[in-house]
Amino acid sequence: MNRRIAFRNARLIDPASGLDVKGGLLVENGRIADIGPRLFNDADPSDPEIINCHGLVLAPGLIDCRVFTGEPGAEHRESLESASAAAAAGGVTSMIVMPNTDPVIDEPSLVDFLMRRAAATAKVRVLPTAALTRGLLGETMTEIGMLQEAGAVAFTDGDRTVANARVLRRALSYASTFNALVIAHAEDPELVLNTSATEGEFATRLGLPSSPSMAESLIVERDIRLVELTGARYHFGQISTRASLEAIAAAKARGLPITCGVSANHLSLNELDVGAYYTFRKLSPPLRSEADRAAMAEGVASGLIDVIVSSHEPQGADTKRQPFASAAAGAVGLETLLPAALAVMHDGRASLMHLLGALTTAPARIFGLPTGTLAKGAPADLVLIDTDEPFVVDAEKLHSRARNTAFEGRKFSGRAQKTFVGGECVFDRAR
């Protein structure tokens, strides 16, 4: 079988090589076989299936580095299948899923289970992370070597911080033995205990229990010291404050193997968006001041923030229709990741090439993936993007099972039109 698909009349953007030209791309057997400005320009190729891109952007499929699903254990909120449908609709071709499930992904057999379930049910690639500590309890390290062999791409306690510095030190030291990537969640667990907002005037007016934003940078600074001691590859899953960014900038300048991400939520919203106790905007970490939000946009533009993530976290009415302080944190985001990133371009803060890099090439580099590029021979994970199509976010039209978007009613310009994984079309907005 030699299945060929020809994309013609596209604006090809490959952040891996800096390519931005009009041209064509040929897919053969699920891989990119050819690419170039003159490909399919003059004459239509005779045999392949032809997709006329009408000048839209054809880019590598997005890699979302921070996705929570409910499988296993809470499939009523989100399964791998439903999350993957949302991913495909958002132009996301690879989801890196967090181990915060029931049971926790802390055993090689569970990594294997997750990969088999994904292969059987998911439309996009699912790359499992495994817990850094058993049961996410922050007490004893997991079998990092065997979990890595089973297919875990990184090690993390997901939305939990390893509070004990001795445990983290040894886990990092052990992880570095296997050159394993560790992903951190930076929130001092004691400072943020039972709080739901960022300490400041707004939280005071609303009367919400709150934690200082330094609860994040405190852990960022601690972890940087531990990385310096152990040499582990370290990725801050999502940061949200200027102080964290400054600490990471200094660490990067010292040559430490540290990278970081920001969620589309923290890039687009600030604490005022909580408005009248709007629980769909209760997040972990909580939304920050406008100054911190602006710092995140600057960080993305300067490249100090390596990746933009959705931090997709499905919740149901049971966990969200609660008073703000009692409601669960988190918002779905697979379908709004690309539009939120494009908003930074429309604001004139960063180029399309740069933003797509933070969604494709940078995650591929951090996680050591063969995707995130339009290079010949790479898997044909592609997204066709209309960067200007205006639309209003409507929770009812989301593809994910959970509908707790933080962007309900938000006007965006630009979103995915078609999505391909290994050359297979997994989403077509026209259909």
Q: Which residues bind another protein (CB under 8 A)?
A: 134, 139-146, 170, 173-174, 176-177, 230-231
Question: What's 352's DSSP letter?
Answer: H
Minimum CB–partner distance for residue 251 and another protein (Å) = 20
Minimum CB–partner distance for residue 257 and another protein (Å) = 14
Minimum CB–partner distance for residue 366 and another protein (Å) = 21
In this structure, what token pair is assigned to residue 277? 């106790």
Strand partners, 413: 390
- The two beta strands, 125-128 and 155-156, are unpaired
Strand partners, 20: 13
Minimum CB–partner distance for residue 140 and another protein (Å) = 2
Return the number of the residue (155 or 324) whose C-beta is nearest another protein.
155
Return the number of the residue (101 or 148) whose C-beta is nearest another protein.
148
Minimum CB–partner distance for residue 146 and another protein (Å) = 5
Return the number of the residue (117 or 169) whose C-beta is nearest another protein.
169
Minimum CB–partner distance for residue 87 and another protein (Å) = 31
Within 10 angstroms of residue 339's Cβ, the number of other Cβ atoms is 26
Dihedral of the alpha carbons of 211, 282, 359, 214, in degrees to the nearest 10: 0
Return the number of the residue (22 or 134) whose C-beta is nearest another protein.
134
Minimum CB–partner distance for residue 383 and another protein (Å) = 38
Return the number of the residue (173 or 322) whose C-beta is nearest another protein.
173
Return the number of the residue (155 or 407) whose C-beta is nearest another protein.
155
Return the number of the residue (91 or 128) whose C-beta is nearest another protein.
128
Minimum CB–partner distance for residue 98 and another protein (Å) = 20
User: Residue 378: left (phi > 0), alpha (psi -120 to 50), or beta?
Assistant: beta
Distance in Å from the first CA to the final CA of the chain: 26
Within 10 angstroms of residue 420's Cβ, the number of other Cβ atoms is 26
Within 10 angstroms of residue 407's Cβ, the number of other Cβ atoms is 26
Return the number of the residue (81 or 228) whose C-beta is nearest another protein.
228
Distance (Å, rounded) from C-alpha 63 to C-alpha 56?
20
Distance (Å, rounded) from C-alpha 9 to C-alpha 224?
46
Minimum CB–partner distance for residue 179 and another protein (Å) = 9
Minimum CB–partner distance for residue 136 and another protein (Å) = 13
Return the number of the residue (22 or 170) whose C-beta is nearest another protein.
170
Distance (Å, rounded) from C-alpha 360 to C-alpha 333?
16
DSSP letters of 190-215? TTTTT--EETTHHHHHHT--EE-THH
The H or E element containing residue 388 is strand 382-392
Return the number of the residue (136 or 203) whose C-beta is nearest another protein.
136
Cα–Cα distance list, 275 to 194, 282, 337 (Å): 20, 11, 22
Cα–Cα distance list, 144 to 99, 232, 257, 278, 424 (Å): 13, 13, 19, 39, 33
